[in-house]
Amino acid sequence: MGTLWAWCVFALLEDWLRPADWAVVIVIGFLLGVWACGRAARDVGVSDHPAIVWDEVIAFWLVLVVIPGGVASQLAAFGVFRFFDIVKPPPIRQFDARLKGGFGIMFDDLLAALFTLFVFALWRSLL
């Protein structure tokens, strides 16, 4: 649900925020997320509880800012990002297993975002 919420918020704000503004939001959101996700995990007693979705929000905003516009591209990015976030192929899985706390929660989704952007860059280079 975090990725879907991120997409909806992005759609509402994309005409108001420039890429540089999004960069500031993403960096600040990541740093706050390290603290907030770590705190939430400690409070519920689960290292990466499924209800903690801020990591998905920040990571997917990064994807949406970088990929070319359009609903079709965004839908494809949604699917690719969710794939990497759920499957956690190497090395995402290894980082997820080793990094704990708020940084670990945020970092594996950041890697899923970077993998998604790599897939889009590869796809565009082949066209």
* Domain locations in the chain as residue ranges: 2-126
- Is the predicted pLDDT of residue 69 greater than 90, yes or no? no
How many Å apart are CA 123 and CA 126, to the nearest integer? Answer: 5
Mean pLDDT on 118-126: 94
Q: Cα(99)–Cα(75) distance, rounded to whole angstroms?
A: 30
pLDDT at 73: 95
Cis peptide before 19 (omega within 30 of 0): no
Instruction: Kindly report the average pLDDT of the chain as a whole number.
Output: 95
Compute the average pLDDT of residues 54-70. Answer: 95
Q: How far apart are the C-alpha atoms of 49 and 127, rounded to whole Å? A: 40
Cα angle 74, 75, 81 (rounded to 5 degrees) comes to 85
